[in-house]
Structure 1
């Protein structure tokens, strides 16, 4: 609901000379900017008027309103709190303050402010959402409360979809939202998220394309392009298109709001690493606190790659050692073996190829191990690797039954004898 605004008194007609002077420099009216949902422009006009002393009675409320719709909830909170300090403040400020607190996760403060607001549909809806937070306690009770309300209150369906997503039950989330015809940005975004999750789970390009189109539709719309959710959508769209330079343009535009957000950092680190900035990628990956995320193969594989590119192959190897034997640990071994080889980190490449060869007698793994072992030997000859490493290289070679092994071992042992290196 739009806030009412007191219009300034209008004097007589401007003198003819003043009219000519003002021609071509017309400042857009606040009402025009709001009707176009140009909240950035509206804030600029309001701040200018405040700066030149033309501040009106509800300027704080309008700036708070615009900041809220841009997703800048901290700024909105500051403006609304300042407005409440006025003894004669507009009573509608309380429901706006409550909504802002809700979006910041300050549910107790939201409830307190909500009860101070005059009764309205917005207050009623806000208190409904706050009741959900109390009932669910992180999700508990959602299946008892929400299903009967799905066809009664629009938000009930959306909240139930979110609940299923948080429980990793992507199929149930999809079943609930697949027939919903989206009409609001939130509905488009949620359909996009569900389609992306299902596409990743099933390996379906069709669902990924649908998700990308939903995100692009919201992020490219005039009403949402300058909001944080709109920019998140464009980042998601480019992420699905693997255009990571563009992803970073959008993520950097609201990075300061999500410094401690694990999901943001997970996506940001991947984009950094994908564009070759593995140093910062590693840094951001290590900020993530969620144990579930840190045990995800995508996290482990990207972090291992960052370690290798940053000349820390031992840390990548330690990531593998902490994993249980599985298809994912096998894939991580392949990544370590090949990436270390490319980077000239032959010691850990040889160790990884050795384990791969034991698990699967594929000739390619022997060839990789042979090349890595010879690479280590060359580095020893060049003085770039300790001579003592040769003993372990020989141990790795002896674990192979290939006929080429004896010839390679003989050459290495001959050199060791000539250079008095114990093997």
Structure 2
């Protein structure tokens, strides 16, 4: 980046300027660019010098250094390869090349090339990281033993702890280093990142503020602040932070892979990366409280519902942004899986995740969701068993058992096991965190209904505000059952009348007929069995109608039903082709009506 030329003053404005020579613009020195961390400007300067002398080793070393720190590791690697072709090259070039390979995701190559260089702390750190990435625990422990107390080695150790989800151990190292080196402001970002992973979002923001006060245009820091806002508030609040970054940087940071990835996530909604639930009971369904939510609406029928780690604004740009990212950042693959699930593409989601060995709670949770959905869709108990095991692994782990996602996992595990009393124990423990949350109320309401707590279940289900949820058959069927069990059969019948004639309305009609009969609401049971008989003249529906009619008549005789309803009952018994079979019952009713002054 070169300074612009100064404008010469006009002679008419200043006679004193006459005779003075215009100063030539000063070209910044390399040190100035590096001090400002302006690696792009440094690259421009060094590339210009390279044209003058292509064999200047020092210039090439600095150019590779700047490319590396600017994130163009492939270009840095090309220069180190060129330097290795020179006479008597510095063997450290192998180590630097290994670092480039590592950042390019070529971990095996990084390990092999690093070993060609001299033994040094940097080589150890590269080998340590490569072993972690390749999952070689034996080598990992061996290189761990070679680390020293230097700040570089301790930062490396903290990084490995972080990658292995040992966030508290990483935090302890960063905080100790920060006490010893308070002027190392970037350590605040690392501490804030760990606290974010530990779900202490307010603490993370407070610590992050120290760094942002000094570097308000830091893409990493602002992105972390946005992530905290996403977890604490919603996607709009998070996106607002990234818009501020765009204004400060002139939009240059918005092309960064991490920022593009998070914009896709933030544009979805609230409470990402939380747990899904499953009931596994015909006609019963659950939703996750603010996260991966899916539910069952009848045997063999599975649908998913996503709220907000991670939903998209209708999937906006998801397939353009997420597939090219692959596993960088690591969440990109997970979010692509979620995108497929949200669009009911269970096969595509399973294809992405089936060979992934989960190592973090979100990965275990997502595998559980995919297996549960696939198991329900195919009626495969093996997939459902795997889902239950993954949920239990997270919920019972020492690190997650007392967290909100951990308790949601245990609730989901018990949903699969049909142990709804235990489901309520875990959901009740986190209820205060999900006030007015439709997904939480969905799961809580269904669990209460499944355990016979129909009054509480009705109150909870009625708190759901989402119109789409309220029109789902699963919601209507559970609400209808609660109405019937609470003595409000007419309200259940009104739910049926609002539905169009289809398979779901037929199922709801069966539920109303049987539940009303069981609860002694014979009038509405008779109406429901009558409609069922019209749709399907099966003997059991006729017998159900006759039994319900007799029950309703008995209620009228006992003055527990209005006498006027007898007219409707007689009409129902005479309405179908089975009127002859119902005639003896009608005759008894007509006789009683005549003796009691009831007009039919």
The alignment's TM-score, normalised by the length of structure 1, stands at 0.76
Contact residue 222 and residue 241 of structure 2 kept, 8 A? no
Q: 1:343 aligns with which of 519, 541, 544?
A: 519
Show structure 2 runs of 5+ residues with no match. 1-157, 172-187, 249-255, 268-311
1:38-72 per-residue CA deviation (whole Å, 9 max, x = no partner) reads: 97xx9xxxxxxxxxxxxxxxxx9999878744546
CA contact (8 A) 1:71 1:229 kept: no
Question: Partner of 2:598 in structure 1?
Answer: 421
Q: CA–CA distance in 1 between the matches of 2:398 and 2:257?
A: 26
Alignment equivalent of 1:334, drawn from 510, 513, 518: 510
Query: Aligned ranges for residues 85-164 of structure 1 at < 5 Å?
Result: 97-103=225-231, 104=233, 105=235, 106-111=237-242, 127-133=259-265, 137-150=313-326, 152-164=328-340
Mapped contact 2:227–2:238 kept (Cα < 8 A): no
1:323 aligns with 2:499: yes
Partner of 1:214: 390
Conserved in 1, the CA contact under 8 Å of 2:257 and 2:325? no
In the TM superposition, residue 158 of structure 1 has moved relative to its aligned partner by 1.0
TM-fit CA distance, 1:110: 4.0
Q: Deviations over 1:369-416 (max 9, x none)?
A: 111111111111111111111111100110242544111111111111
Asked if 2 retains the 8 angstrom alpha-carbon contact of 1:107 and 1:130, the reply is no
- Alpha-carbon displacement from aligned partner over 1:191-211 (angstroms, at most 9, x marks no partner): 111111222222222211111
Judged with a 3 Å threshold, the aligned counterparts in structure 2 of structure 1 residues 344 and 300 are, in CA distance, closer, same or farther, namely same
Indicate which of 584, 587, 593 corresponds to 1:407.
Answer: 584
Take 2:421 and 2:463, find their aligned partners in 1: how far apart are those partners? Answer: 21
Largest Rg, 1 or 2: 2
Distance of 2:195 and 2:451 partners within structure 1: 32
Q: Is the 8 A contact 1:98 1:113 kept in 2?
A: no
Q: Cα gap change, 1:76/1:65 in structure 2, threshold over 3 Å: closer, same or farther?
A: farther
**Is residue 438–residue 466 contact of structure 2 (8 Å, CA) maintained in 1?**
yes
CA distance in 2, matches of 1:151, 1:159: 10
Counterpart-to-counterpart distance in 2, 1:100 and 1:266: 26
Q: How far apart, CA to CA, are the structure 2 residues paired with 1:362 and 1:96? A: 63
Secondary structure at 1:146's aligned position in 2?
helix
For the 8 Å contact 1:80–1:97, the answer to whether it is kept is: no
Name 2:405's counterpart in structure 1.
229
Going from structure 1 to structure 2, the CA distance change for 1:97 and 1:145 (only over 3 Å counts) comes to closer
The answer to whether the Cα contact below 8 Å between 1:76 and 1:100 also exists between their aligned partners in 2 is no
Contact 1:288 1:294 in 2 (8 A): yes
Distance (Å, rounded) in 1 between the aligned partners of 2:359 and 2:507: 42
Distance in 1 separating the partners of 2:329 and 2:194:
27
Q: For this pair of structures, how many residues does the alignment match?
A: 369
**How far 1:151 sits from its partner (Å)?**
5.0
TM-superposed CA distance for 1:368, in Å, is 0.9
CA shift in 2, pair 1:391/1:84, >3 Å? farther
| Secondary structure of the corresponding residue to residue 555 of structure 2 | helix
Indicate which of 454, 462, 467 corresponds to 1:291: 467
**Rounded Cα–Cα distance in structure 2 between residues aligned with 1:134 and 1:263:** 19
Instruction: Report the CA distance between 1:87 and its aligned residue.
Output: 7.5
* 1:53-72 alignment, distance < 5 Å: 68-69=196-197, 71=199
C-alpha separation between the residues in 1 aligned to 2:333 and 2:426? 30
Displacement of 1:128 in angstroms is 4.4
Question: Which residue of structure 2 lines up, in the alignment, with residue 258 of structure 1?
Answer: 434
Q: Does 1:373 align with 2:549?
A: yes
Residues of 2 paired with 1:165 and 1:285: CA distance?
A: 25
The 1:145/1:129 distance shift into structure 2, 3 A limit, reads closer
Structure 1, residues 96-146: CA drift from partner, whole Å, max 9, x if none?
A: 544311323321354378789xxxxxxx77634333347864411211222
- Whether the 8 Å contact between 2:513 and 2:529 is mirrored in structure 1 is yes
Distance 2:259 2:573 in 1: 70
Change (3 A) 1:261 1:65: same
Q: Contact 2:258–2:329 (CA<8 Å) still a contact in 1? A: no
Give the distance between the partners of 1:392 and 1:386, measured in 2 at CA: 11
Gaps of 5+ in 1: 1-30, 43-59, 117-123
What CA distance in whole angstroms lies between the structure 1 residues aligned with 2:314 and 2:356?
A: 25
